[in-house]
C-alpha cells in the first residue's frame, strides 16, 4: 500500500504541477493581452522619468506647443476673487485653455481660485511676489527671493501642483533669473501681443489693439490681465476676441516647455 500510495502521490504531484504551469502560463498570457510586457512597461516608465528629469530650457519661450495656426492666451496678475472667476467663465464658454501668471501673495490669499484654475485645465505661471518691473536691476538675492518664494506660495495654494512657467514683471528678465527659473522647472515665458488692457480705455480699443497686432505678430502669445484693478473691460474683450480668433482659424495651445 505504501508503494501504491507513493506512485499515486507522484502521479498526483505531476498532474498538479502541470495544472499550475498551465494556470500560470494562462495568467501571463492574459496579462499581456492588450497591454505592454513588463520590459515595455519598464521602458515607458524610464522614458517618463527621463522627461521629468530633463532640464528646462532657460530661453524665453513664445512658441505654441500646438502645430498650425495657434495662439497662447496668458492671463496676468491674479488670482482675483472678482475677475478671475469671470475670466474662467469666458474661457470655458469658448473651450480655450490659458496660462495664469500669478502673484505669490494673491495665490496664497485665494487658494480656492488657484485650484479652480487647475481644475479647468489651465496652467500656472510664477509672476513673482511684488510685481516689481524694475527687478531686473536688483541684486540676484532679491530676484531669487521674488521668484522662488512666489513659486512656493503658488504651488502650496495649488495643493502641490507644479508651476510650469515664469514671467518676469514687465519683461524684466535677466540671464540669472531665467536660469534660476529653469533650474526650478519653470520655462521663462514672454509675450508677443500685448492687449494693453491694463491701460484702461474702451473695450473697442483693447479689441482693436489685438486685432491690429495679430497679422504682424512675431509669435503667438497674447497677454491679458485678471488682476491689478478693474478688469471688466478684459472680460468683455475676451468675450469678443476669442470667438473672433476662432472664426479666423486660430486654435489655442500652451507655450512650449
* Catalytic residue check, 131: no
How many angstroms separate the CA atoms of 114 and 108, rounded?
Answer: 9
Phi and psi of 37, rounded to 5°? -70, 170
* Catalytic residue check, 112: no
Phi and psi of 7, rounded to 5°? -65, -45
Catalytic residue from among 110, 122, 131, 225? 225
> With 0-12 CB in 10 A as exposed, 13-18 as middle and 19+ as buried, what is 168?
buried
Helices (H) and strands (E) in the chain, counts: 9, 8
How many angstroms separate the CA atoms of 182 and 32, rounded?
Answer: 40
CA dist list (Å): 165 to 26, 42, 189, 203, 249: 48, 30, 6, 28, 27
> With 0-12 CB in 10 A as exposed, 13-18 as middle and 19+ as buried, what is 188?
buried
All residues at 6 or more sequence positions from 240 whose CB lies less than 8 Å from its CB, including other chains: 203, 207
Catalytic residue from among 76, 80, 197, 226? 76
How many angstroms separate the CA atoms of 192 and 89, rounded?
Answer: 24
Give the DSSP per-residue string, 152-210: HHHHHHTTTPPP-EE--GGG---HHHHHHHHHTT-EEB--SEE--GGG---HHHHHHHH
CB 211 within 8 A of CB 244: yes
> Where in the sequence numbering do the catalytic residues fall?
76, 225
Amino acid at each position: 500500500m505504501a508503494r501504491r500510495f507513493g506512485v499515486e502521490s507522484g502521479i498526483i504531484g505531476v498532474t498538479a504541477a502541470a495544472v499550475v504551469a498551465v494556470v500560470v502560463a494562462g495568467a501571463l498570457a492574459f496579462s499581456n493581452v492588450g497591454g505592454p510586457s513588463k520590459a515595455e512597461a519598464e521602458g515607458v516608465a524610464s522614458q517618463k522619468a527621463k522627461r521629468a528629469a530633463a532640464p528646462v530650457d532657460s530661453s524665453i519661450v513664445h512658441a505654441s506647443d500646438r502645430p498650425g495656426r495657434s495662439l497662447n492666451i496668458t492671463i496676468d496678475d491674479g488670482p482675483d476673487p472678482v475677475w478671475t472667476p469671470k475670466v474662467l467663465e469666458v474661457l470655458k464658454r469658448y473651450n480655450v485653455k490659458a496660462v495664469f501668471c500669478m502673484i505669490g501673495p494673491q495665490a496664497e490669499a485665494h487658494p480656492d481660485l488657484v485650484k479652480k484654475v487647475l481644475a479647468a485645465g489651465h496652467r500656472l505661471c510664477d509672476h513673482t511676489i511684488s510685481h516689481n518691473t524694475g527687478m531686473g536691476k536688483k541684486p540676484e538675492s532679491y530676484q531669487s527671493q521674488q521668484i522662488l518664494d512666489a513659486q512656493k506660495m503658488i504651488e502650496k495654494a495649488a495643493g502641490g501642483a507644479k508651476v510650469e512657467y515664469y514671467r518676469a514683471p514687465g519683461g524684466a528678465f535677466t540671464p540669472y533669473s531665467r536660469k534660476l527659473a529653469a533650474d526650478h522647472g519653470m520655462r521663462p515665458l514672454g509675450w508677443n501681443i500685448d492687449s494693453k488692457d491694463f491701460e484702461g480705455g474702451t473695450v473697442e480699443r483693447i479689441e482693436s489693439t489685438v486685432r491690429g497686432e495679430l497679422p504682424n505678430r512675431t509669435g503667438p502669445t497674447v497677454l491679458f490681465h485678471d488682476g491689478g484693478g478693474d478688469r471688466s473691460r478684459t472680460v468683455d474683450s475676451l468675450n469678443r476676441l476669442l470667438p473672433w480668433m476662432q472664426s479666423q482659424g486660430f486654435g489655442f495651445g500652451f507655450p512650449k516647455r
